[in-house]
Amino acid sequence: MKVFENKAALAAASLKEGQIVTTKGYYTAGDGGGATYLIKTAAAFGGTPDGYGDHTLANGNVAVLQHSGSVNVKQFGATGDGVTDDTVAIQAAVDSLSSGGGLYFPNGVYGVSNTLHIDQPISILGESAGFEQIFQDAGTLFKGAVIELITGSFTTTSNKPIVNFTYNGAGSEQRVNASMKNIVIHGNRGTTQSPVHANALANNTYGHGIRISGARYITLENVYTLRCAEDGIRVQSGGTGAVSSNNIVILNCASLGNADDGLDFAGGDSFVIGGQFGYNGGDGVACDGGLTLTNPRCWDNFTYGCRVTGDDVSGSLVTYDNQRSGLLLSGNLRRINLSVQAQDNGKDTGQTNDTRSGVLVSGVSTGCNLIINSENKHETPTTGQVRGLTISNAACDINYLIDGDVSDGMTLVSDASTKSGLQAQNLTVGDGALE
Distance CA 285, CA 264 (A): 6
AA identity, residue 4: F
Same domain, 52 and 78: no
User: Of 66, 97, 113, which marks where a domain is finished?
Assistant: 66
What pLDDT shows up at residue 9?
98
Same domain, 31 and 98: no
Closest by Cα among 355, 303, 362 to 336: 362
What pLDDT shows up at residue 21?
98
Same domain, 224 and 159: yes
Same domain, 231 and 247: yes
Same domain, 313 and 386: yes
From residue 358, alpha-carbon distances to 60, 104, 201, 312, 323 in Å are 69, 43, 30, 21, 11
User: Of 44, 66, 88, which marks where a domain is finished?
Assistant: 66
Phi, psi of 417 (to 5 degrees): -75, -5
434 within some domain: no
Burial class of residue 140, CB neighbours in 10 A (0-12, 13-18, 19+): exposed
Same domain, 36 and 174: no
Read off the CATH number of the domain in which 171 is found.
2.160.20.10
415 within some domain: yes
Same domain, 258 and 218: yes
User: Of 49, 66, 83, which marks where a domain is finished?
Assistant: 66
Same domain, 229 and 85: yes
Same domain, 41 and 184: no
405 within some domain: yes
Closest by Cα among 33, 4, 32 to 20: 4
109 within some domain: yes
> Considering the entire predicted model, what is its pTM?
0.92
Other beta carbons less than 10 A from residue 47's beta carbon:
8
What pLDDT shows up at residue 384?
87
435 within some domain: no
352 within some domain: yes
335 within some domain: yes
What pLDDT shows up at residue 353?
85
235 within some domain: yes
Distance CA 348, CA 362 (A): 19
Same domain, 213 and 106: yes
- pLDDT by 10-residue block (mean), the chain, 435 residues: 97 97 98 98 96 97 96 98 98 95 98 97 96 77 94 95 87 81 97 93 97 94 97 87 87 97 96 98 97 98 97 96 95 87 94 89 74 80 84 53 45 40 44 40
Same domain, 57 and 139: no
Strand partners, 246: 216, 268
Strand partners, 185: 147, 225
Q: Are strands 81-85 and 108-112 parallel, antiparallel or unpaired?
A: parallel
Domain that holds residue 44: 2-66
Tally the domains of the chain.
2
Same domain, 247 and 103: yes
